[in-house]
Amino acid sequence: LQSGSSVLNDCVESQFFADGWLRDGDFHYHISAIEDFRSAMLFAQNNHREDAFPAAYKESLRKMTEVVMHMIYPNYSSINMADTRKTTWSKSVLKKNLNRYVELFPENQELLWLATEGAEGTMPTATSKAFTDCGYYVLRSGWTKNDRMMVLTNTTQSPKEQWHLQWDNNTFELYVKGRNFFPDSGSFSYDTGSNRSRYAATSAHNTLSLNDGNMTSCRGEMLRLDYHKNSQSERLVLVNPSYNGLMHRRQIFQVEKMFYVIVDEAYGTAAGTLNLNFHPGESEENVVLDSEAMGMHTTFSDGNNLIVRTFTDGAPMTFVEKEGFYSDTINKEVKRKAYSLNVEKSADAPVRFVTVLYPASDATAPQISASFTGNWSLERMGVDVTIDGKTWNLINSNLTK
C-alpha cells in the first residue's frame, strides 16, 4: 500500500505538467493515462483508505479530468491532433469517461453537467482556457452543440522530445454548430517512415511555414489572453520561434462570440517564401477554393457554412492550391482540398496576414474586408474588419513579454 501509492504519486508529478496535461502532449494518451491513476484512487476510496494518497494526488487528478472537459467539442467529439484519432474517442466512450470522473469528483457540478448532457449540474461558464505548460488553448462561444469552438496548439516541446507531437505550432481546429471545418490532418501511420513524416510536416497544418519546410523550433509561449471590451472580443496571443531568424506571432480574436479573426505576423532576419497554410474539411465535398478572393467557402445544404478570407498589409500574395489529405483512422487516408497563401519576405522586413473566419448560412453572401491600421510594431497591433458594412476595430497592445 505504501510503496504503491508512493510510486503512483511520483508518476503523477513526473508524467504530467502542472496545468494537468500529460507531458507527451497527446490527447489520446492523456485520457488513457488518467484511468491508471483514477482507478487506483477509486480503489482506495472504496476501501476507506483515501489517506494513502496525499491531497496533491487528488488535486492533480482533478486537473487531468478538467483538461478533458475543456478539450472535447460540444457535440462530444475529439480533436484529431498529433496521434489522437477522433474516431477512437466516440461520444459514448467520452461520456463513459466523464461519468467515471464524476464518480471521483461528485462535487464538480460543471463536470456533472457535461457528463449528463445538461440533465444535471451546472453549465460551465468559461469561454477560454489556456494550458500554457503543454501548449493547448481553447476559445469557445459556449458549451451547447450550436456554439463555436477553436482549439490551438503551440507546444513547448518538439517531436524530437515527444514522439507523438508534430511540427505544427500555432495550428488550429475550428468547430461550428456540430461541424469541424478545419480538422487536423492527423497522423495516418503509427510507425516511423515517409507517411508519418508527411502528416507531421508543418505545411500539413493550419499554420505558417517558410519555404514549405518544417519548423526548426517548437518553443511556444502565450503572451496574453484577455477580453477587449470595445470590440467585444476575447483575444489570445501566441508566439513561436518557428525558424532560425523567424518569429511567428499569431493573434486570435473571438469577436462577439460570432466569428474569428487570426492575425499572423512573421518577423526577423530570415528571408524566403512565407506560406500561410489552410486545410479545410474532412473531404473534398462542399469545399470551394476561392483563389481570386484569397480564401475558401463551404456549401453544406444544412445552412451551417463558413467563409474564409485573408488579407495582407500590402505585400503581394499568391494563392497556391495544394494536395490535401486527412486521416482519423490508422492507415486510412481521404483526399481533401488545401491551399497556401504565399508572400515573399526579405531580411529584417516583417510580413503580416489577417484572416477572417465567418460562419454563415450562405457562405457566398457576406462581403468581408480587413486592413491593418498604423505601422508595424512589436508592442502594438491594429486591424479593421468590415463585414456587410459593419466595422470592428481590433487593437492589441503590450504584445511583448
Known active-site residue 101: no
CA 251 to chain centroid:
13
Residues carrying an active site annotation: 29
